[in-house]
Structure formats: structure tokens, C-alpha cells
Structure 1
Amino acid sequence: MSSAADFRQSVDGDRRAVLFSGDLTLASIRDLPDRLDKVDGERLTIDLSQVSRMDTVGAWLVHRLARQREAQIVGTNEHFATLLEQVAHADQPVKVRPDRTPPLYRVLNQVGGATAAAGRTMLGLLGFFGALLVSLKDVITHPRRFRINAVTQQFELVGIHSLGIIGLMSFLVGIVIAQQGAVQLRQFGAEVFTVNLVGRSAVKELGILMTAIMVAGRSGSAFAAQIGSMRLAEEVDAMRTIGVSPMEALVIPRVLATVLLMPLLGFYASVIAIVGGGLFSWIDLGIPPVTFVQRIREVVPITDLWQMLIKAPVFGLIIAMAGCFQGMQVEGDAEQVGLRTTAAVVQGIFLVIVLDAFFAVFFTSIGWL
């Protein structure tokens, strides 16, 4: 049976003490908090030796009295001491806002985190490329494992379905290049050199570069979303369980289709861009189509075409690898699919532009101006 909580004060010279008794529990404290508020004196001694039981509420009352009156608590057993320690720890002030970080430290922390994440991604992509080469070697040594139907399906998705949007984009880009070039060259009476600008920029750079960006945004994101959804549905794990290599069934067909189709798509985009520029030159500058084509043949060297055909498969490899790699990294929840899809597009476009810069320096160094 519980006894009501109570206390009494004692005075021994200059020392004041508060002696608790009974059960310091929620059911027994009654008006004890109001009576404790009327206790006089500072630097008290709180004696709990006559307390039989104490719960969190009782420990809070004791702790509050000790904090307000700078009191010393004595007469506690192991259980009471632990309870009072936990209550004191919970009574620490909580920071609603974190400490203000200097802007320089915050920027450096973000830059460092982004650099470390980029380094881990690049290492993972390099390892993924190694796994792709190993799987490709296994397919070459065992031709029956090559999935021709999967490659054909990817030809349709990556190539045929992309012709419309790539053609429209290239046609408009060709018109824009011709229009902007004509406006600037007209100041010097050199509108005829608009043909040079359209031909060389379309064949050498913009045709394949814009195609790579479009393929990264369309096919690279699709690769990441498809494989990521299969990861969430545990279809990739099921394939491994039945002895089917995900690299051979999912990655190689997509990579192979993109590598083979990028030169064709790049050449197609270059031709359509030249057609757009030629149409504008015919309407606005009065350059007949026959003259435009003849001028294109004179000013565009064959090395520009070779540059485009060399860069295209490399760009296709990078885009397909980025999409498949990010798809394979999906785990946890559906939100990861969106995040990895975005990462695949950004990573693919970034690597394409970086490689294009390296190719430009390399081709210039060997005399392919």
C-alpha cells in the first residue's frame, strides 16, 4: 500500500534541510508541488533516505527543487540516483537552431562533399566499365548467350523513335546558326561565309554534340529508370538467382545499341542541320540550294566527318554506361529512381562535354583543324 508523499524542514544552525518521506510517485504527491514552492532558503540539503518509492514525476520535483535552491541531494540509493540523473539529462536546454556555421566553412564543406561524391561515382563507373568488358568477353567466347532480340529492340527505342525529335532539333539549330551568323557577317559584307559556318559547325561539333545531349536526356534517362524499377521489384536479383547475368541481359544490349547508332544519328543530325541552314540561306540570303551544296563540299573537309564518326561511339558508350550504372545503384524506395535518373542525365551530359573538349584538343594537335 502506498503512503502519501510528504516532507519536513529542519534547521541546524545555518544549514537547512528538506527531508522527504513516503512515496514520491504520481499517485501520492497530491499538493506536494504547491507546498514545495513555499519552501524558504537557499543552498538546501535534500534528504531522500526516508523515501520508499520514486517515479519520474517525483524525481522531477526533487530535481526542480534542487535546481531552484541550489540544493545538494543526499540519501539516494542506486535506483533513485539513476532516475535523477536521467531527469537532469533530459532537462538540458534544447537548441532549436543549430550553431551558425561561417559561410566559408559551409561552402568548403559542400564543395568537399560534392568532390568526394564525384570521385566515388567515377570510381564506380570505372568498375562498372570493367565488369562490362568482362561480360562482353564472356558473350564473345559464348556466342549463344548474345541476345539479338534485345539489341534489336534497343535499336528501335534508341534510334528509330529518336529520329523525329533529333531531326526537329537539328533543323532548328541549323536555322539559328545560319541566322545568327548572317547577322554578324552582314556587317562586313561576308554573308556568303554563312555556308562555311553552318557546314563546319554542324558536321564537326554541333551535330554530334546536340545528338549526344538529346540521347542522354531521352535514352540515358530511360535506361536508368527501367533498370532502377527492376531493381526495386527485385527482378535483377531474381535474374541472378536463376543464373542469368544482368550485365548480359540488360546492360550489353543497351550499350551496344547506343554505340552502334550514335554515328548514324550524329550523321543524320548534321545533314538535317545543314538542310535547315541551307533553307534559311536560300530564303534570306538568296543562295540557291545547288550553290549551297557545292559550297558545303568545298569548305567542309573530310576530317570533320571523321572527327564526328570517331567521337560518336565514345559518346554513345558514355551515355549508355551512365544510364545503366545509375539504374543499378537504385535501392531503398521509389524516390531513388527519380534521383538516379536525374544523375544519369547530368553525368552523361557532363562527361560528353568534357570528352568533346579533349577530342578538340587532340584533333587540333594532330592537324585536323
Structure 2
Amino acid sequence: MPDTAPPEAPAPDMPVLTIGLADGVLAFRGRLTIARLSETERQLHELLAPVPGPLLIDLSGVTRIDTVGSWMVHRLLRERPGSRLTGASADAERLLAEVAAADRPCDMRPVQQPFWARELGRLGLYVITFWQSILALLDFIGLTIISAVRAVASGRGVRWQAVGAQMEQVGVNALGIIGLMSFLIGIVLAQQGAVQLRAFGAEMFVINLVGRATFRELGILLTAIMVAGRSASAFAAQIGSMKLAEEVDAMRTIGLDPIEVLVLPRTIALILMMPLLAFYASLMAILGGGLFTWVDLGIPPATFVQRLREVVPMSDFWIGMSKAPVFGAIIAIIGCHQGFQVTGNAESVGQRTTQAVVEAIFMVIVLDAIFAVFFTALGLD
């Protein structure tokens, strides 16, 4: 005969909750939990509707109480002033105290402020955030300089292999986009200048405009803006991703300085490559402007080059090249600094990458304005 399994024993009934009211004493017996919330609410309403005034709430018969049960008891104490509690265990008293501490009024909607107060508060927050960002950036610049001095003094030196790899990324791989952009800018600058100067019969001065503007300002400024959008964002995303993956912490654990390993090679690479990129961009802009003057104005290339040599002083070239290393250093440091500020999740990487580009372009333009005032004060107009 086949074996037959013995019937399973029925599960014991779960303890039910009973509520009694006699002589102003409300007594609970059983489990005061969320499992019987709707039934408990109904019983309390039926029992307490005809009985006003304070109550003595007896919890001596409660075998278990959770947050919902504690909230029902706390609400009874709050809605019926003068009510008292008795028979509560230590755990029940602790839970009731936590529920009472959390019972605070809150605004469902934010308090509406006047427009001027709201905008003034936003402006103050922007100023504070901007000042904190400047201080943090200055602190990071100092930390980078200290790390560079420490690396040289300790004999470790600079990681030139990493510098070479970064030079390829930020310099060689950027030649295409920077060259195309500069070439088109040169054409646009020559075309717009020719439109304005043609009314005075001074088309020849287009060469002056293209030459001086390119070598002195536009060549380095546009290159710095392109590098800021390309390299600052890349530095922030790379270091930010490494920080999320805890690779930066791993470097510190094995005794490596993240500033020395990650920041110095990128900074040195941009300092070395920015003058070369600026010179290349200036040549491409001159080429674009010369091509336009040849095609549209009929000025042959030999005349264009000869005129360019006459009207563009070497001081313009050296002024433009002197800005390049400074722009490269500030772009690299801002990108790396924002990368180290990444916290939490991948969304922070996107936010810091965007902020790196915005800050780098802003600082490039500010520094360019400072350089313009400085060189004008020196008489190098």
C-alpha cells in the first residue's frame, strides 16, 4: 500500500485584538498592529463616539504593537486632552515616544515669498556658491603646485609616459576640429570685414583685421574655448568615473598621490600643447582669410602674405602665445578639480562635467580680459 503522509496540523490561530471600554478605561488585548487597522478603527469609532472626555488607556494586555498601533494610541491621547496611559511595556513606551516626536506639522506647499525676496535670496545663494567655488579652486591649485614640488623633490619626477599619452589625447586628436573651426572663423572674419570696409574702398585692410585679430586674440581664445569644451569635460568625466569606482581611494591605499598620478600629467600636457594648438589655429584662420580675400577680393596670396608681414607686429604673436600656457593650466586644473568633486552616483558625473566646461570657459574669458588690460597698460596695443 502507498505510504500516506500524516495530515498537517492546523496552524494556531493568530491572536486577535479585543477592545473594551468600561468606566472610562479603554483596554486593548492582543496584537495592536497594522494587520487589523481597518477593523480597529471601526471598533474605536463605535465605542468612543458616545463617550466624550478623557480616557485611561490600558495597554497591559497588548502582546505586540507596531508603529501604526502606536500612532492610533498617540492620536487618542492627542485628541482627548487629559487622557492617560497605563500598562505599557518599555518597548511600547519607546515606540510611542518616537511617534510623538515625529508628529510635527508640515507645510504641504512651500511658503510663498514676495518676488523681490525670492530673487534676492537666489542672487545671494549664487554669490555664496561662486565665492566658495573660487576658494575651492584656489585651494586645488595650491595642492597641485605642492604635489608637483613634492614629486620633483622626492626624485620620483614627472610621469612623462602619462604626459605623452595625454598630449596625444588633448593635442593631436584635437587638430581636426580646431583646424576646421579656425579655418571657418578666418573666412567669416574676412567676409564680415570686407562687407564693412568695401563701403569705404578699403578692402585691403581686411588683411590687417584678419592678421592682428587672429594672432593677438581670436586664435588663442577660440582654441582655449574649444579645448575647454573638449578636454575639461573629458578630465572631469574620467576622474569622476574613477572616483565612483573607488579607484582614487585605491590609489591612496597603495600609497599613490592621486594629484600626482592624475592631475599633473594632464596639466603639463595642456600647458605644453596649448601654444602649439594656438599657433596651428592661427595659421588655419589666416589660411581661411587668405583664401577668401583671394577668391572674393582678388588679392593674390603673395600680396596677402607680404601685407601680413608688414601690418602684424611680432608683439601680437608673442602676446597670443604668452596666454596659451596659462589658459591650458587653468582648463586642466578646473576639469580635474570638478572630477574630484563627484559624489554619489552617475548623475553627479554629468553635473560636474557640465560645471567644468562652464567654469573653464568663464575663467578663460576672464583671464583674457585681464591680459588685454595688462598688455594695454604696458603700451602693447
Distance 2:100 2:133 in 1: 46
Q: List alignment gaps of at least 5 residues for structure 1.
A: 9-17
| TM-score normalised by structure 2 residue count | 0.82
Partner of 1:45: 53
The answer as to whether partners of 1:2 and 1:28 remain within 8 angstroms in 2 is no
Say yes or no: does 1:73 pair with 2:49. Answer: no
Name the SS for the 1:279 alignment partner: helix
Q: Hey, what does 1:15 align to over in structure 2?
A: none
Superposition deviation, residue 275 in structure 1: 0.8
Of 16, 23, 26, 2:28 maps to 23
Pick aligned residue for 2:346 from 309, 323, 334:
334
Aligned to 2:331: 319
After the TM superposition, which residues 74-153 of structure 1 pair with which residues of structure 2 at under 5 Å, given as runs?
Answer: 74-77=83-86, 79=88, 94-153=106-165
1:106-143, CA deviations, whole angstroms, 9 ceiling, x for partnerless residues?
22222222222222222222122222222222333355
Q: Secondary structure, in 3 states, of the residue corresponding to 1:368?
A: coil
- Going from structure 1 to structure 2, the CA distance change for 1:21 and 1:233 (only over 3 Å counts) comes to closer
Q: CA deviation at 1:255?
A: 0.7
- Counterpart-to-counterpart distance in 1, 2:166 and 2:96: 68
Please name the residue that 2:182 is paired with: 170
User: What does residue 3 of structure 2 align with?
Assistant: none
Flag structure 2 segments of 5+ consecutive residues without an equivalent.
1-14
Residue 196 of structure 1 pairs with residue 214 of structure 2: no
**Corresponding residue for residue 309 of structure 2:** 297
Compared CA separation, residues 283 and 92, structure 1 to 2 (3 A): same
Pick which of 104-113 and 303-312 moved more: 104-113
8 Å Cα contact 2:294/2:300 also seen in 1: yes
Q: CA deviation at 1:252?
A: 1.2
Q: CA deviation at 1:7?
A: 4.2
Listed one character per residue, the Cα deviations across residues 162-181 of structure 1 (whole Å, up to 9, x for unaligned) are 11100000001111111111
Which stretch shifts more, 238-247 or 174-183?
238-247
Specify the SS of the correspondent of 1:45. Answer: coil
Q: Is the CA contact 1:212–1:316 (under 8 Å) kept in the aligned structure 2?
A: yes
Name which of 183, 194, 202 aligns with 1:182: 194
Give the stretch that moved more between structures: 150-159 or 100-109.
100-109
Provide Cα deviations, 1:180-230, integer angstroms capped at 9, x if missing partner: 111122222222221111111111111000000111111111111112222
Deviation at 1:90, TM superposition (A): 7.1
2:5 corresponding residue in structure 1: none
In 1, the alpha carbon distance for the partners of 2:74 and 2:165 equals 76
Match of 1:225 in 2: 237
Relative to 1, partners in 2 of residues 1:195 and 1:3: Cα closer, same or farther, differing over 3 Å? closer
User: Does the aligned pair in 1 maintain the 2:339–2:349 contact within 8 Å?
Assistant: yes
The residue type equivalent to 2:56 in the other structure is L
1:321 Cα deviation from its structure 2 partner: 0.8
Opposite residue 5 of structure 1, the aligned amino acid is: I
CA change 1:347–1:59 in 2 (3 A) is closer
* Correspondence for 1:262: 274
Aligned partner of residue 73 in structure 1, secondary structure: coil
SS at match of 2:82: strand
Q: Give the AA of the match of 2:157.
A: R
Quote how far apart the aligned CAs of 1:292 are.
1.2
Q: Quote the offset at 1:47 in angstroms.
A: 3.5
Q: 1:37-84, CA deviations, whole angstroms, 9 ceiling, x for partnerless residues? A: 4x38xxx433327786577669748956985xxx64345448599988
User: Matched residue of 1:5: which SS?
Assistant: strand
Change beyond 3 A, Cα 1:5–1:140? closer
Which residue of structure 1 aligns with residue 355 of structure 2? Answer: 343
Say if 2:28 and 2:58, in contact at 8 Å, map to a contact too: no
Alpha carbons of 1:49 and 1:357: their partners in 2 closer, same or farther (altered >3 Å)?
closer
What is the DSSP-based 3-state SS (H/G/I as helix, E as strand, rest coil) of the residue aligned with 2:24?
A: strand
Q: Which amino acid aligns with 1:151?
A: V
Does 2:288 match 1:281?
no
Moved more, 183-192 or 159-168: 183-192
